[in-house]
Each structure stands twice: as structure tokens, then as C-alpha cells.
Structure 1
Amino acid sequence: MDPTKGALQPSGPFLPAEREAVYRAIFTRRDVRSQFSPQPVPDDVLARILTAGHHAPSVGFMQPWSFLVLHCLDTRHKVRALFEEANAEAVAMFPPEKQAHYRSLKLEGIVDAPVNLCITCDPDRAGPVVLGRTHDMAMDRYSTVCAVQNIWLAARAEGVGVGWVSIVDPIRLRQVLGIPERVIPVAYLCLGYVHEAYARPELEVKGWRRRLPPEDILSFDGWGGQRPDHPLLVAMRAAMGEAGS
């Protein structure tokens, strides 16, 4: 029997309203830090968000991710202490003229958000040899980041804000959360409802960085192949304008 029989589905474009909803989620997704409401995220909503994460693409269908849902305030206070220690170290890494600006930024909502989520990667889940990971052993972590993106976009569609806390020592985070040594903490997220969010990325609004123009990120037929008048580059400029970027 052919195992693929009946397994295919139509793969045409979405209807216009459906397509616009997908792009709206992408273009209005924000890294939320300080606007969290104390309102709990219901289990059915969180289940849909996590299910979206579990439907991310993964190289070799390895599905290396695990989702640690953290409600306990005591645990989250411990994670916040890790952040505060790492954040104090991070300040000194920037040139003196940027340190005051850095200190002014709100960079986490670990205790403010009603729920936290740690997403990990188990490189051993699919065995020692994984289809598609034979020549780049980081493919399991790249696949896990795809799950993070799915979660973020699904959360946006549900009206749930997400903030990624990346300023933390992963070894000490593993210890606090009891994560096995072989498992890699990839993302620590704060989730909660928000009443409003920035129309543009917060770090752009506050003058830390700007979104790069398409000519800085687009090349043709090899690295650095610049074609300033290429129709694709012109179209991308127009699309970024429509997206408000």
C-alpha cells in the first residue's frame, strides 16, 4: 500500500483576507517588555499557541523542542535574579556613550507577565544521525527557533504579547529549571495580554537601532551582488513602505 495515498492537500494561495491576516501577524508582532496585564492566559489559548509551536518545521522531522511552562513566582524570581546579574555585566560591554541609554531600556517582564515559557532543544531526540543534520549539527537549534517564531506569531493572533529574555546565563538557567545537561535552553519568553504595543519595534522607537533598508540585506547571484534598480529590490522597498517599516 502506498503510504502517501490520501496524504496530499491543495496547496494554493490563501484567500485575500486570510493572507492579510498572516501578514498582519508578522508585521505587528512586537517584543513586549513592560505592558503586560495581570490577566491570566487561559489554558485553551496557551494550548493553541503551543500547538502552533509544535507544528513548526524541523530538519529531519526531529522535533527537538520542549516547552517548559512556568507559573511559579518563586521560580520566576530566581530567573529574574539571573537576568539582573547578567544585565549588569552586559552594561559594561557597551561603549561608555551607550551605557546610559542601555540602562534606560526595559529588557524583561519575567515577573510582570502572568506566564513564562522556556523553549529547549534536545539534540539527541532523533538519535545520533538525523536526516538533514549530517553536515551541520546546529540544525536542531535552528529548528527549535522555528518553533519560537510559530509561538510568537500565534500569540500575536491571540492578542498575547511575548518578550524574549536573552540576557541570561544558559548554564545557570539550566540549573534553576532542572534541565538535563544535554538539553539546550534556546529561548526564555514572557507571555501575557497587553493593552497596546508599539507601532514599530520598541528599540527602534527608542533610538537603539533602525530597521535596515532592503539594499543592505539583499544580494543577487552571490554575496554582495548589488543591483540597485533590480525589480525585486524596488518591489521590496514598496512592500516595506506598505508594512510601515
Structure 2
Amino acid sequence: MELQDAIRTRRMVRTFDANRPVPQEALERILRNGTRAPSAGFSQGQAWLVLRDGDLEKFWQFGSDAVNDTVRTAPLVIVPFSCKRVYLDRYAQSDKGWTDRDEARWPVPFWHIDTGMAAMLQLLTAVDEGLGALYFGIVPDQVQPFKDAFGVPDDHEPIGAIAIGYDAGAEKRDLRSRRRPIEELVHFGTWSR
């Protein structure tokens, strides 16, 4: 599939075929492509928790508050994590010119941004593999219980979750009428029109 086709056809899938598991080769490619995302200072402060089979029932105790019940039919969930510590440590190294780990030096939290870019590559790879996917959040009051249940280190934060599987939805929504015109979103040279 051409990149433009993957971008054009990517959408959030909310109903999955529970009887069709994601092939191992597709999972490996989805995970591998996530590691190709930009990473400030090549810090690589991302990690992924892959959940299938019995792990999913446990996950949905914490992750289902943000989605419709139909999403629970996904045979695979990948939870991307960011780790601020890795970035602060990396930028305290001599080749970066900082001598401390001061978080105030960062204009935005690149650890979350880089992990979000990795998640986007995984969403596009799922489309390229003929799969459907849904990116969704874990509600704030469920984050710590989720981390505790799966033994996630304290310094790793889930930036959401990605449900993946074969699309079982009967209808394809046409959102073109709801998409904001590009003229409202893009500003050339100055913000004012």
C-alpha cells in the first residue's frame, strides 16, 4: 500500500472480529515500525505493553471506561508508554551541552510527543497490514491501578492504548462533511487572514 493510501484510509475502528487474531508477522511489523518514529536526541524513551488472550480480560478492567463495549472484541491491544527519565538523562549527557536534568528546559514534553508519533506509525502500519485500529485513552483514575496490575515501572506513563484487529464494522462513516477545511487550519507567514 502506498503511504498516501494508508493515510487516506486510516480511521478509528470500533468493532473488531474477535475470531480473527492478528498475525504474528503483522504484530512484529507494527511494533518494529513504532521504533522508527522521531526521538529527541535519539533518546528512545518509549516502551510498549502487548496484550492478547487472557491479558485482555485483565486490561479491560482498567481500559474500558473510555470506549464502547464493541472495542473489547479487539484481539490485540498495545499500550505505548513514554519515559521522561530517559529524555532527562539523555540531555544531561555531555554531547547535549546540559549539565543537569532540569525539566524546565523542555518547551513541551517531547517524551509524550515522540511516543505519540510512534503510536501514529503503528496505526498506519495496522492499515497497511489490512487491519483496523482505534487509539483511545485510559481514564486518569484508572492509570495507576492499571500500572500496578501489569507491573509497569513508576517512571513509565501510558499515553493511551491501541486496539487492533480485523474490522467487523458493517458501515463506513463518511466524515468529510465534519472535517474542518484546511483553510481554517493552515496559516502561511502570519496567523491573521
Class of the TM-score when normalised by the shorter of the 2 chains: 0.7 to 0.9
CA distance in 2, matches of 1:219, 1:83: 37
CA distance in 1, matches of 2:57, 2:82: 23
* TM-score, length of structure 2 as denominator length: 0.80
Q: Which moved more, 1:56-65 or 1:119-128?
A: 119-128
Deviation, 1:198, is 5.3
Q: Which moved more, 1:172-181 or 1:52-61?
A: 172-181
2:180 to 212, 232, 238: 212
Q: Percentage identity across aligned positions? A: 28
1:106 to 68, 92, 102: 68
CA distance in 2, matches of 1:161, 1:127: 35
Deviation, 1:165, is 2.6
> Larger relative CO (CA 8 A, sep 6+): 1 or 2?
2
SS class of match (1:182): coil
Does the CA-based 8 Å contact 1:28-1:199 persist in structure 2? no
Unpaired stretches in structure 2, ≥5 consecutive residues:
98-102
Does the CA-based 8 Å contact 1:36-1:161 persist in structure 2? no
Cα deviations across residues 78-134 of structure 1 (Å, max 9, x unaligned)?
Answer: 3323344x45xxxxxxxxxxxxxxxxx837613x11111111011222453525984
2:123 is aligned to 152
Does the CA-based 8 Å contact 2:147-2:153 persist in structure 1? yes
CA distance in 2, matches of 1:23, 1:175: 40
CA distance in 2, matches of 1:82, 1:195: 24
Larger radius of gyration: 1
1:193 is aligned to 166
SS class of match (2:158): strand
Cα deviations across residues 184-218 of structure 1 (Å, max 9, x unaligned)?
Answer: 111211111225675446xx49xxx9211112212
CA distance in 1, matches of 2:156, 2:138: 19
CA distance in 1, matches of 2:171, 2:113: 28
CA distance in 1, matches of 2:114, 2:76: 23
2:114 is aligned to 143
Q: 1:46 to 1:83 in 2, by over 3 A?
A: closer
2:5 is aligned to 24
Cα deviations across residues 46-80 of structure 1 (Å, max 9, x unaligned)?
Answer: 1111111111111111111111111142x422332
* Matched pairs, number: 181
1:9 is aligned to none
> What are the residue-to-residue correspondences of 1:35-46 with 2, within 5 Å?
35-46=16-27
Q: 1:172 to 1:108 in 2, by over 3 A?
A: farther
1:177 is aligned to 150
1:60 to 35, 41, 53: 41
**More helix as a share of residues:** 2
1:92 is aligned to none
Does the CA-based 8 Å contact 1:41-1:193 persist in structure 2? yes
Amino acid at match of 2:31: L
Deviation, 1:36, is 2.9
